[in-house]
Structure formats: C-alpha cells, structure tokens
A and B are shown apart, each in its own frame.
Chain A
Amino acid sequence: MQNDYDFAVVGGGLVGAAVAYGLGKRGLKVLMLDEGDVAKRASRGNFALVWVQSKGLGMPRYATWTRASSDHWPGFAAELREVAGFDLAYRRPGGFHLVLSQDELERRAASIQRLHNQDEVEPYHIEVLDGDEIRRRLPEAGPEVAGGTYCALDGDVNSLKLFRAMHAGFVRNGGSYRNGALVDRIEAGDGGYRLVTPDGAHTADRVVLAAGLDNPRLGAMVGLDVPVRPLRGQVIVTEKTAPFLDMPLSTIRQTDEGGVMIGDSQEEADDHDVMRPGINAVMADRAVRMFPRLGRLNVVRTWSALRVYSRDGFPIYEESPSHPGAYVVTCHSGVTLAAAHSQILAGKLADGGLTSDFDDFSARRFHVSAAS
C-alpha cells in the first residue's frame, strides 16, 4: 500500500521543524504534526544562543557535533533568509561568559581545561580573561566582573524568526503542516506507520519523533526508550534600549530589536506555569553587577519554560531497534543544533538512516551499566 508521506515528523518546535525542513528540501514528501500553542513548547522559551564554548564535557562527540552545527550556521541562515524572505538576525561575533568572583573564574577555567583534555575533541580556542581585559573588550562591563571566557565561534540569532523561517521554508518547499495534531497513537504496519490524531490518521513510510517532553510517551509506541525530563529555566526581558552590547554572553544578550534578555536558570521542575521570583532576583542582580546600566531599565516580561533534558544532558538520536524507520531526535539546544539537524541529520535520514558515527547519541548509552 502506498503511504501518504515519505516521512511524518511528530513535533513542530525548533527540533521538529529543522528536521522536517531538512527532509522537505531534499525532495521528500513530509508531514509535520504539531500539538499547537497549547504544547509546552521549549522553542518558545529559549535564550537563542548559537553556542559552542563549554559544551561537550563528558561526550566528545557532542562537542564536535555542536562545533559542526555552529560552522553550518552561516550558510543555513543565508539559505533560510532566501527561502523565507526575511533576515534572522544571525551573527557570530564570538561570545563571553562572565564571572563575578575569582573562585568562579578558577572553576570555569578548570572545566574548560577538562573539556579540551578529552580525546577526539577538535581543538578550538577559549580565552580565559581577567576582569581588566574583559572591561577593555566590553567597555560597559562593571567593576565587579572578575573575569570571563571568550570563544570566537559563539553567536546568536532571533529565535522567533528562526522558528517562523523554518516553518515558512518547510511549507514553501511543499511540506504539509497540521496544527492541533496531538498524536494519540502510532501503529506499525507492513510498509510504514499510521499516526492517529484527533483530526484523522496519516500514513508515512518513516516517522521521526521530535516532540520534546512527549517523546517518552510516543517512543514507547515504537520500541524507543527516551529518558528525557523537564528542566525549568527562567528568562527576564527588559524594555528595548539603545544598542550597547554587540555580542552575546551566556546569560545576557541584547536582541536585534533592542530588548535585553537575561537568563538562564536551571531547576528541576515540571510546571511551566510557575515563576519563582527569587530566581529572577538572583539573575537580575548578577546581570546588573555585570552591566550596571541594566539597573536603569524596566523589565517588561519574564517567563519560565521547560528544557528537554536527557539524563546526561546530551542529545538522543536513535532508530528503534524493533521498529525500523522510526527515529527519535531530541536535545535541549534546538537553536544551536538547528543547522546540524537540518543540514546534516536530515540528510542522513533522507539517505537511509543514521550512520555509525551517530552511535554515541543512542539512548543505549544509558543502559551500559545494566547490561554489563
């Protein structure tokens, strides 16, 4: 029997949209099923960094994967601008992580040293700088800044525009998008999969689960164990102000539209309707100590959102051992990895499946001790 689609992608956030866009532009017939605006939607709450420094301690493959995505980003952003018809405000001026005490600086430097001591990590330069050097490079930085690290590979983007551009590009390339399409059931058949939604069923040769925190439920339907959990983050946004910061920091960035975003907390919690003022107070206090001028700005918005976090914090890419052609794609860095998902991962899927260089990302890594 002929299926409706080559691929069904479950999830319309940054991860699902990147994979669906990447499959569609390779000429495949793709359906993107999106729960809609009621979804927890980590894509709505992210900090919009395209970030390399400090990622990958504990999994060298994640460091190289992140680096590869970062290197694909300039071409990816140009391609999306072409297909969507508007600019994403992507930039790669390098980025800083600032610290407020000598102790913090020493811990940061040690962590980066361990990251680079791992085998297999392509070396890239991270500078460790003292407070005076930071103030020389960032004239607005305040006297309490004790130092920081800088990596020339880091950048950021307007993630709302990224989200919109990938959806627009997907549809423009002939993709089919369904909103309000929470998948109730996935049935495996002879020649593919049948996905049942409130508005009817769709069939596809292959299926990609990119539904964030819903992946554990969906994965169980196709023999995939997806151990992810919510990790809550809070973000503060100030009123728009004259441009003063032309490169991103790990916890502070000024958007192309002038607002300043301050992040990004991490808290074990599964409710995204809750905001803890104490966490915002700490974030705001640190931000004002880093850039005193922020203290004169009004806050116009704060939010909390749920990161999709695997047990070790690294992505999971895997084909189901029992259900060939059913894949899971999940990570907490949907912005940084959007280029890799669209330009590399989708190509692998389109060409037949994940190659052995993706084995490190399999959820089998969580079962090693149980098996041995």
Chain B
Amino acid sequence: MYQRLPEPGGMPIPFTLDGRRLEGRAGDTVAAALLAAGVETCRTSAVGGAPRAPYCMMGVCFECLVTIDGVGNRQGCLVPLQAGMAVETQLGHGKRELAR
C-alpha cells in the first residue's frame, strides 16, 4: 500500500516481525517501517477485537501498539527503529498484558 520516496535515504536496518526478517531504513519509526513493509494489521483492539494499524503517526491515536523486545503496548510511531529489534504484533485477547 505504501511506497518509499524515490531517493533511498538512510542505511538499511534489519529487524524482525513475529520472527520474520524485515528491513527498514535509518530514520524510520517502528510504525513507519511496518507500513513500508506492507504490514496491514499490527494488533486487534482490546474490547471489540477489530484489526488496527498505525494511523496518526504522531503519538496521539494509540492505534500502532506493538510489542517491542518483549515489552507490550509500545507506540510504534514513537519508537525509532534499531537494528535487531524484535517486533511482535498483538493479535488476540490478552496478548499485550502477557507480554509485560
């Protein structure tokens, strides 16, 4: 759905999503790297179970919650991507709390 701008700025940054090897760019946030990698659902909502994805990209909407290096409910749009990060989606009830 999303494409990077033509000029490929930034060094490649390897990370994993649910164990799958992916690559972002230096300067990406975790949420931006997920969108660029074509990820369409990063979690399901706690009450209704609806699929959610990064939205506001500025820390307000809390839609981009993911587990990062074992810590649940991080706002992906506020965390700069770093090499070797283990990112996990939060699909299904209770995952977030178990992850803490």
Contacts and interface: CB of A to CB of B under 8 A. Distances in A.
Partners in one complex: yes
B45 A240 contact: yes
Contacts, number: 28
Contact of A243 (B47, B62, B96): B47
A246 B17 CA distance: 35
Nearest to A256: B47
Q: Residue among A241, A258, A293 with the most chain B CB within 10 A?
A: A241
Nearest to A241: B46
A296 interface: yes
Interface in A225-242: 239-242
Given A298-B73, A300-B62, A240 B47 contact: yes
A54 B52 CA distance: 42
Interface in B81-100: 93-94, 96-97, 100
Nearest to A295: B100
B46 A242 contact: yes
A243 B97 CA distance: 13
Interface residues of B, number: 11
A298 B97 CA distance: 10
Given A258-B45, A258-B47, A298-B73, A242 B93 contact: yes
A258 B48 CA distance: 9
Contact of B73 (A239, A242, A256, A257): A239
A300 B75 CA distance: 11
A257 B50 CA distance: 12
Given A240-B45, A242-B46, A296 B100 contact: yes
A297 B65 CA distance: 13
The residue in B47, B62, B100 that gathers the most chain A C-beta atoms within 10 A of its C-beta is: B47
B100 A240 contact: no
Contact of B62 (A239, A242, A256, A297): A239
B93 to A, nearest CB: 5
Interface residues of A, number: 13
Interface string B48-64: 00000000000000100
B58 to A, nearest CB: 14
Contacts of A298: 73
A257 B47 CA distance: 7
A293 B100 CA distance: 11
Contact of B47 (A242, A293, A296, A297): A242
A239 B45 CA distance: 11
A256 B97 CA distance: 19
A113 B47 CA distance: 39
Among A240, A243, A257, A258, the most chain B Cβ lie within 10 Å of the Cβ of A240
Interface string A260-296: 0000000000000000000000000000000001001
Contacts of B97: 241-242, 293, 296-297
Nearest to A254: B47
Nearest to A240: B46
Contacts of A256: 47
A268 B20 CA distance: 55
A106 B100 CA distance: 37
Given A240-B45, A257-B47, 17 more contacts: A239-B65, A239-B73, A240-B62, A241-B46, A241-B97, A242-B47, A242-B94, A242-B97, A243-B47, A258-B45, A258-B46, A258-B47, A293-B97, A296-B100, A297-B97, A298-B73, A300-B62
Closest 7 pairs (CB-CB, A-B): A258-B47, A240-B46, A258-B46, A242-B46, A242-B93, A241-B46, A296-B100
